[in-house]
């Protein structure tokens, strides 16, 4: 297996000939083995993989002699000769650990990238609750160009177009021309339809509400204080919403104890205002 980083020019050659092969298969493809990718013989992955609803399993060397299944989705621990995994239709990044049997199906990351956003080296993730409709609210853009792409990688999938503020993305299409402004952005993963809705009289300065978060980074919880808020959502780095919480009064808390270490995004809503805050879980 050869990998190459075009930004740093770093490369590596990994000998995979002695690794056991693991495949993923199910009703979505009439039980035909789909080889998974591994760099260590332990963790196996499939990126941006689309399935229909139905049962599925993991198996080794294309044989039912060693196979893993379970009754839980989107994550669980597969056991030898276990039940078929009950898939929900969608497009996922799939991970399987051959040693523990642990597996997960997570929505793909979809982001915008370009000089109209944060530059051509920095992705700005959109948020999704269903793996199909991705959104980004109150995003400030400058005059320039951008594209949508999956998993922070043009090689996985990307869409461009010539229409603005709305249109249908074309795979590997031209950069989308953008006019400076503040927008609510939507992208439909199934149809590739996109829109940039200008935010008119967007929002009063949220800083006036005195929002504060502590501690940040946190190990157990994040505490929020504000003068007014009605709702807080929490999304992981992929943009998947993992919490949608109604709040009252002038304070709220989010339990972080069960979350994996990493970066999260909290969006605090107050009337017609919103503020996105980066949170770190240690």
In this structure, the chain runs to a length of 282
Question: Cα–Cα distances in Å, from 239 out to 130, 229, 273?
Answer: 11, 22, 20
- 129: alpha, beta or left? (left if phi > 0; alpha if psi -120 to 50): alpha
pLDDT, mean of each 10-residue run, the chain (282 residues): 67 71 97 96 95 97 96 96 95 96 95 94 91 90 95 94 94 95 91 88 52 91 90 82 88 93 86 80 90
Separation between Cα atoms, residue 155 and residue 25, nearest integer Å? 24
Query: Residue 29 phi/psi, 5° resolution?
Result: -135, 25
Separation between Cα atoms, residue 274 and residue 250, nearest integer Å? 15
Nearest by Cα to 260 from 230, 238, 236: 236
Give the single-character DSSP code of 8.
T
Separation between Cα atoms, residue 240 and residue 253, nearest integer Å? 20
Tell me the torsion sign for CA atoms 105, 89, 65, 14.
negative
Q: Is 220 helix (H, G, I), strand (E, B) or coil?
A: coil
- pLDDT, residue 268, reads 86
- pLDDT, residue 119, reads 93
Predicted TM-score (pTM) of this structure:
0.65
- Beta pairing partners, 59: 23, 67
Nearest by Cα to 170 from 179, 183, 180, 157: 157
Exposure string over 204-224, b if 16+ CB within 10 A, otherwise e: eebeebebebeebebeeebeb
Tell me the torsion sign for CA atoms 27, 158, 164, 123.
positive
Please say whether the beta carbons of 94 and 105 come within 8 A.
yes
């Amino acid at each position: 297996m050869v990998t190459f980083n075009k930004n740093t020019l770093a490369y590596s050659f990994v000998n995979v000939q002695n690794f056991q092969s693991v495949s993923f298969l199910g009703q979505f493809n009439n039980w035909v083995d789909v080889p998974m990718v591994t760099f260590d013989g332990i963790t196996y992955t499939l990126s941006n993989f689309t399935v229909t609803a139905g049962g599925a399993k993991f198996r080794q060397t294309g044989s039912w002699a060693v196979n893993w299944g379970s009754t839980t989705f989107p994550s669980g621990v597969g056991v030898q000769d276990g039940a078929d995994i009950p898939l929900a239709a969608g497009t996922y990044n799939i991970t399987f650990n051959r040693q523990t049997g642990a597996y997960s199906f997570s929505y793909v990351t979809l982001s915008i990238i370009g000089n109209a956003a944060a530059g051509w080296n920095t992705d700005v993730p959109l948020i999704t609750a269903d793996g199909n409709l991705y959104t980004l609210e109150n995003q400030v853009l400058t005059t320039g160009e951008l594209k949508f792409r999956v998993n922070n990688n043009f090689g996985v999938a990307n869409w461009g177009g010539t229409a603005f503020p709305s249109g249908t993305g074309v795979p590997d299409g031209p950069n989308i021309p953008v006019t400076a402004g503040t927008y609510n952005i939507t992208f439909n993963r199934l149809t590739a339809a996109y829109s940039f809705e200008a935010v008119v009289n967007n929002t009063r300065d949220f800083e006036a509400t005195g929002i504060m978060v502590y501690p940040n980074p946190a190990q157990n919880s994040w505490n929020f204080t504000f003068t007014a808020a009605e709702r807080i959502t929490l999304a992981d780095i992929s943009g998947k919403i993992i919490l949608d919480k109604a709040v009252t009064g002038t304070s709220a808390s989010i339990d972080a104890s069960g979350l994996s270490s990493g970066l999260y995004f909290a969006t605090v809503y107050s009337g017609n205002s919103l503020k996105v805050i980066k949170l770190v879980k240690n």
